[in-house]
Amino acid sequence: MCGIIGYTGKESALPLILGGLERLEYRGYDSAGVAIIEEGSLIVEKQVGKIRELVRSLWGKPFKGKTGIGHTRWATHGAPSVDNAHPHTDSRGEFAVVHNGIIENYLDLKRELESEGFKMRSETDSEVIAHLISKNYEGDLLTAVLKTCEKIRGAFAFAVISSREPFRVVGVKQGSPLVVGIGEGENFLASDIPAILPYTKRVITLEDGEIADITPEGVNIYDFWGNPLTKDIMIVPWDLISAEKAGFKHFMLKEIFEQPKAVGDTVRGLLSEFDSFPFSLKDFSRALIIACGTSYHAGLSAKFWIEKYAGVPTEVVYASEFRYGEHPLGDDVIVIGISQSGETIDTKFALNSAKEKGATTLAVVNVVGSSIDRESDYSLYTHAGPEIGVAATKTFTAQLAALYYLAIGESPKKEPLLRDLLKIPSIVENALESAEDVESVAEKYLKKKDFLYLGRYLSYPIALEGALKLKEISYIHAEGYPAGEMKHGPIALIDENMPVVVVAPRDRVYEKSISNIEEVRARKGIVISVGFEEDDKLKKYSEDLLKIPEVPEDLTPFLTVIPLQLLAYYIASKLGLDVDQPRNLAKTVTVE
Ligand code: M6R
């Protein structure tokens, strides 16, 4: 987690760095800071809270320095405080470091440095990097960084500047993401591409074990032994406009409304990309899906499709739990890692370990060039564009599209199934027309303290996803459960205060879902159902019906999730909460 940025060039660094930090804020927002080389000296400004607090503290301080670094923090070691905020400096104030990730051996390094007289001012693992670079410095920043890399262990990316060499930024990647932006007479480092997109679309993606040495005139890349490397420059296809709010109140709402395009673009992309794959699912005796959060829910939906159309037994595992099991794997197993960011460390570690065991790894990712994309044997891309809201929405339906496409690949009925899939974008468009109805329902229930979300079969992952959306942005307790399991415990929770959201499209388990609704009503629970628009029976049984257009059973997850995303959004927005950057969360989770 955390976002880092570095700049050296012809412009004043401060506004560029602050703009970049705003675009990186989704990675963490507990505190923020900048370091600028101003007339030969290092100036550091840090604040607790969001970037706007940092911007406020910089009013009336028009720094003009042309080299600087910035950081937005998601706290791991040490509470959010000014001392723990980055950049961290050495004791003489000549070196400033911003860091993302974890230095695993920092306690040993801290003890060693303290015994040599270095004074630590923070509780972070990051500060040791600044002291080590200072200790190792003998006139060349790159050499000092190389020596420092010999000492530190963990998954990290950092950038350093020094008043001794005012037109240079050195960045290191080992486990956490770092890209280099190539400009004209200026160059950039950042955790993620959108941070630098307004300034350049020419990007080098660093691999683990690489160091970028940037000056206004050029960029040199080295390995950890100081050997120069030649890297390809990628031209980024995203434009900035797609990373702005375009008149919507929040990114999340904009992204919910972008789903028809995200699904359509994903399917069109797959039509050209996937057919060139040298394997089919049927080549494997087993599939294992690994993912976290919303991506895990997409995986649960995919299990039904893969087993039905490809006939391959499929297991879905939380990436964060994967490493604790034995998981016998071999070359007869395909391991599918699903990740929007392509940087989720749990998913990345799980995929790498599966690969070591001989499995074929396939990534389903949104960010091209991300670690998971690069480290997997094969990748399928969701063409959803950048997703800024911390709550995943359009990338979920895009993941569903990619996974459905993968599953039907071998079906003799592929053509008609694909035709139905291609209709989904316009059907989702129709579903979004009911947003105002969902908003009125949100108004009725926003004071409730607990929600239950129930679903069976393909609607069970959607119940989980609906509950996750509500929890993460509204801070209201919500539990997703398989409807048939209710009688084994959760039914005890139901009383006249409990809204129960039942996902019940007319599918093979519809009658059973209606029975569950009756059970809820018998205990005076408030039924909010999600179902087909012409379903009078469901309407009669529900306090509120969130309507979706009718689609074939297999495609219901694309539709049933839409009102649940909207319900969570409108509740959180009406509660005045920070929908795009909910507390305690970050968009990309690069810690275990
Ligand atoms: O980038 P990933 O898809 O690997 O991220 C996985 C989860 O961290 C993510 O889905 C998270 O649960 C979202 N906040 C859900 O809205």
Q: Which residue type, as a one-letter code, is found at position 567?
A: L
Query: How is residue 423 written in tokens?
Result: 């209709």
The residues that bridge with 501 in the sheet, in sequence order, are 453, 528
Residues 476 and 569 in one domain: yes
Q: Given pLDDT bands bounded at 50, 70 and 90, which one contains residue 238? A: low
Residue 588 lies in a domain: no
Contact between 178 and 221 under an 8 Å Cβ cutoff? The reply is no
Q: Is the confidence at residue 26, as pLDDT, over 80? A: no
Residues 169 and 256 in one domain: no
Q: Which of 204, 236, 268 is the last residue of a domain?
A: 236
Q: Given pLDDT bands bounded at 50, 70 and 90, which one contains residue 239? A: low
Residue whose CB lies within 8 A of the most ligand 1 atoms, among 399, 589, 592, for a mutation test: 589
Q: Which is nearest to 335 in space by CA: 344, 324, 322, 321?
A: 322
Query: How is residue 250 written in tokens?
Result: 């929040």
Q: Given pLDDT bands bounded at 50, 70 and 90, which one contains residue 78? A: confident
> Residue written as tokens 């840090």?
46
Residue 584 lies in a domain: no
Q: Give pLDDT, residue 384.
A: 92
Closest ligand 1 atom, residue 392 Cα? 16
Residues 363 and 254 in one domain: yes
Q: Is the confidence at residue 25, as pLDDT, over 60? A: yes
Q: Convert the pLDDT of each residue in 495-544 to its tens digit.
A: 999 999 999 999 999 999 999 999 999 999 999 999 999 899 999 999 99
Q: What domain count does the chain have?
A: 3
pTM for the model stands at 0.73
Residues 193 and 56 in one domain: yes
Residues 410 and 551 in one domain: no
Q: Convert the pLDDT of each residue in 256-287 to its tens digit.
A: 999 999 999 999 888 877 766 788 899 999 99
Q: Is the confidence at residue 81, as pLDDT, over 80? A: yes
Residue 339 lies in a domain: yes
Query: How is residue 36 written in tokens?
Result: 């600028």
Query: Which range, of 31-45, 109-123, 265-279, averages the lowest pLDDT?
Result: 265-279
Mean pLDDT of 81-97: 94
Q: Is the confidence at residue 240, as pLDDT, over 60? A: no
Distance CA 92, CA 497 (A): 61
- Give the H/E segment covering residue 109: helix 106-115
3-state SS record for 128-180: HHHHHHHHHCCCCHHHHHHHHHHHCCEEEEEEEEECCEEEEEEEEEEECCCEE
Helices (H), 376-447: 394-408, 414-432, 435-445
Q: How far apart are the first and last CA of the chain?
A: 10
Q: Given pLDDT bands bounded at 50, 70 and 90, which one contains residue 451? A: very high
Residues 42 and 136 in one domain: yes
Residue 160 lies in a domain: yes
Q: Is the confidence at residue 51, as pLDDT, over 90? A: no
Residues 289 and 202 in one domain: no
Helices (H), 477-525: 510-522
Closest ligand 1 atom, residue 347 Cα? 4
Query: Which range, of 42-56, 230-244, 558-572, averages the lowest pLDDT?
Result: 230-244
Q: Give pLDDT, residue 277.
A: 76
Catalytic: 2?
Answer: yes
What is the residue-averaged pLDDT of the chain?
Answer: 93
Q: Give pLDDT, residue 586.
A: 79
The residues that bridge with 546 in the sheet, in sequence order, are 530
Distance CA 21, CA 4 (A): 7
Query: How is residue 150 written in tokens?
Result: 């010999």
Distance CA 336, CA 323 (A): 15
Residues 303 and 177 in one domain: no
b vs e for 139-176, b when ≥16 Cβ sit within 10 Å of the residue's Cβ?
A: eebbebbbbbbebbeebbbbbbbbbbbbebbbbbbbbb
Q: Given pLDDT bands bounded at 50, 70 and 90, which one contains residue 28? A: confident
Q: Is the confidence at residue 460, as pLDDT, over 60? A: yes
CB atoms within 10 A of CB 498: 18
Residue 112 lies in a domain: yes
What angle do helix axes 556-574 and 459-474 make, rounded to 10 degrees? 20
Q: Given pLDDT bands bounded at 50, 70 and 90, which one contains residue 422? A: very high
Query: How is residue 209 written in tokens?
Result: 């074990």
Distance CA 110, CA 118 (A): 9
Query: Which range, of 139-143, 176-180, 392-396, 469-473, averages the lowest pLDDT?
Result: 176-180
DSSP strand E in 323-476: where? 333-339, 360-365, 378-381, 450-455
Instruction: Kindly report the backbone phi and psi dihedral angles of residue 534, in degrees, each rounded to the nearest multiple of 5, phi listed first.
Output: -95, 15
The percent of residues above 90 in pLDDT, for the chain, comes to 79
Closest ligand 1 atom, residue 399 Cα? 3
Q: Which of 236, 254, 282 is the last residue of a domain?
A: 236
Q: Is the confidence at residue 197, as pLDDT, over 90? A: no
Instruction: Kindly report the backbone phi and psi dihedral angles of residue 365, in degrees, each rounded to the nearest multiple of 5, phi listed first.
Output: -130, 155
Distance CA 221, CA 170 (A): 10
Q: What is the CA radius of gyration of the chain?
A: 25
Distance CA 26, CA 157 (A): 17
**Domain residues for 217?**
3-236
Residues with Cβ < 8 Å from 460, sequence gap 6 or more? Answer: 300, 480, 482, 483
Choose, from 2, 254, 261, 292, the residue flagged as catalytic: 2
Residues 51 and 87 in one domain: yes
Contact between 411 and 417 under an 8 Å Cβ cutoff? The reply is yes
Residue 365 lies in a domain: yes
Determine the distance separating the centroid of ligand 1 and the alpha carbon of 547, expressed in angstroms. Answer: 27
Residues 520 and 542 in one domain: yes
Q: Given pLDDT bands bounded at 50, 70 and 90, which one contains residue 469? A: very high
Residue 592 lies in a domain: no
Residue whose CB lies within 8 A of the most ligand 1 atoms, among 1, 256, 295, 336, for a mutation test: 295
- Give the H/E segment covering residue 228: strand 228-229
Contact between 362 and 336 under an 8 Å Cβ cutoff? The reply is yes
Q: Which residue type, as a one-letter code, is found at position 138?
A: E
Helix, strand or coil, per DSSP, at residue 60: coil
Contact between 47 and 146 under an 8 Å Cβ cutoff? The reply is no
CB atoms within 10 A of CB 416: 11
Q: Given pLDDT bands bounded at 50, 70 and 90, which one contains residue 241? A: very low
Residues 135 and 196 in one domain: yes
Burial of residue 318 (number of CB atoms within 10 Å: 0-12, 13-18, 19+): middle
Provide the CATH number for the domain around residue 366: 3.40.50.10490
Residues 318 and 421 in one domain: yes
Q: Is the confidence at residue 185, as pLDDT, over 80? A: yes
Determine the distance separating the centroid of ligand 1 and the alpha carbon of 393, expressed in angstroms. Answer: 10
Q: Which of 183, 206, 236 is the last residue of a domain?
A: 236
Q: Give pLDDT, residue 498.
A: 96
Q: Which is nearest to 295 in space by CA: 145, 414, 395, 146?
A: 395
Question: 302: left (phi > 0), else alpha (psi -120 to 50), else beta?
Answer: alpha
Residues with CB under 6 A from ligand 1: 292-295, 339-341, 344, 347, 390-392, 468, 472, 588-589
Contact between 130 and 89 under an 8 Å Cβ cutoff? The reply is yes
b vs e for 106-136, b when ≥16 Cβ sit within 10 Å of the residue's Cβ?
A: beebbebbeeeebebebebbbbbbbbbbbbb
Q: Give pLDDT, residue 79.
A: 79
- Give the H/E segment covering residue 479: strand 477-482
Q: Convert the pLDDT of each residue in 474-484 to its tens digit.
A: 999 999 999 99
The residues that bridge with 291 in the sheet, in sequence order, are 318, 338
Catalytic: 587?
Answer: yes
Residue 589 lies in a domain: no
Q: Give pLDDT, residue 273.
A: 74
Q: How far is CA 281 from the centre of its chain?
A: 27
Determine the distance separating the centroid of ligand 1 and the alpha carbon of 340, expressed in angstroms. Answer: 7
Query: Which residue would you say has higher pLDDT here, 181 or 102?
Result: 181
Helix, strand or coil, per DSSP, at residue 463: helix
Q: Is the confidence at residue 137, as pLDDT, over 80? A: yes
